[in-house]
Every structure is written in structure tokens, then in C-alpha cells.
Amino acid sequence: MGGRLDGKVAVVTGGASGIGRATAELFVAEGAKVVAGDISDDLGAELADRCGEALTYQHADVTVEADIEALVTTAVERYGRLDVMFNNAGAGGDPAGIQEITQEGADRTLRLLATSVILGHRYAARQFVRQGTGGSIISTSSVAGLQGGQSTLGYTAAKHAVVGIVREATAQLAPLGIRSNAVAPGITMTGIMGPAFGVPRERDEEFKAFLATELADKQPIGRVGQPEDIAKAVLFLASDDAEWITGVVLPVDGGQTAISMGGWLAAAGQAGADFVAR
């Protein structure tokens, strides 16, 4: 029985860890060839070893335009084509509030989380047009791209921008057979969580397990998300099962945005402080 991505080639940014890694591994399991880009070269090399010839790892900093273009070029040179672009790379960005944030901090955050998504669309769409085959672009937004009060100012602004990019991309690219959608993860246990609360990297796994327990009852569905939960939604949007779906921002959040969840961020902050103080 074939996989849902048999014969397809994908680029995944931020592919060495978290949501990107889970997605890259799932894509390979479903029959795709994958080029994974990241700045964490040790983790990327380990991922490539695990996946074998079906996955190529390449160092890529998505704040550098040439690195994004190079990922698409590598996909075509190594595997012959491109069918899926997953604009996923990111981090928490500048944590400053609206009265403290600087132009440099705001620019850096938007470049990482929003401008990179524009450029991912640019180079993927150009390749799709050259092939004449259409294609699927998926980008990672966040529940912070749907509501205020879910994260910091810079992250919230950037993730809202991703929603706008997807909608405008749909207007421009749908007539060319190119789909653009986004996932909006809720509380998901990735490597972004520890740094957001000042937890040392060596305690990251311990912190994620602690936070998952502390925040479970803050989620309507009774647990926090895992990278694999998001990867399954991305797989659907990448597959031909979603061939008539474009311009959608899909919350993958255990029901978080369906109800008022204004208290979760305060609860997370208190949990982080409690953990560090232990």
C-alpha cells in the first residue's frame, strides 16, 4: 500500500527538530523525498543518517534569502522536482513588550518568522511554475496568529503576518494550481518552549515533560500538543487529499482557540518560574 506522498519531493525548513523534524520523518514514511534545512547541523546530520537517501540535510538560515533559494535548488538537483514547501523554521524572537521593543528586535523577529515565509513562497512558486505541475505550500503560523494574548508582541505580529501571506498567496497563486495553507499550532512541546521561559538547554526535555503535566488541564482536549500532532495536519495539507483546499489557516490546538484561553500564558509563565526555582 502506497504512502500519501509517494513520488513527491518536499522542502522542510527548521527540519532538524520539533515540528519540522516530525514532519520530515512523517513525509519520508509516507513516500516523499525531503530536503530538510536548519541551522542545527548536528541534529540535521543525525536526521539524515536515520532517514537514508530519502532525506538530504542542508544548512539553511531562513533569514538569508540565498539559503532558502538553495534548498529549492537542492531539491530539484537531487530529486528532480519540487511538490511541497513547508515554511516552518522559527524561534520565539524578541520577547520585549510594546513599550520596550526596538526596531532592530522587531525587524529581526519579522525577518525570521514572516519574511522567510514570503521568500519560501517566492522560490517554491517559481519552481512550480517552471514544472507546470502546481504544488502545495504550507506555513507555520500559531494560535498567536489568530488571537492576542497568546505570546509576545513580536511573535504575535509575525504569526499574524503569516496568515496574511497565505491569503494573498492564495489570491495570486491559486489560478496557477499552487495551494497555500497554514497550520496554527497551540501549546506544543517543542524546543522553543524552554528558551521562552529562560530554562537552560540541558534541562529542555525535563522542562517540556513538566510543562506538559502542568498545562494539560488548560487545554480543552486534556493534553498539550506534540510535534507529531502538527505533522499529521501538515501531511494532510501536503497530500492530494487536500487538492481543493487553499487559503486555509488550520488551528491544530486541542480546541484552544475555540474557547477563551486567556489564562494559559500566565499559567505557563508561573509553571516556568516554578520549574527554574526547583
Residue numbers annotated as active site: 155
| Short-list 105, 102, 37, CA closest to 65 | 37
Residue 140: beta bridge partners? 183
What is d(CA 2, CA 180) in angstroms, rounded to the nearest whole number? 25
Rg (CA), the chain: 18
Q: How many CB atoms lie within 10 A of CB 26?
A: 22
| Short-list 19, 65, 23, 63, CA closest to 39 | 63
Which secondary structure element, helix H or strand E, spans residue 121, and what is its range? helix 116-131
| Short-list 20, 11, 62, CA closest to 192 | 20
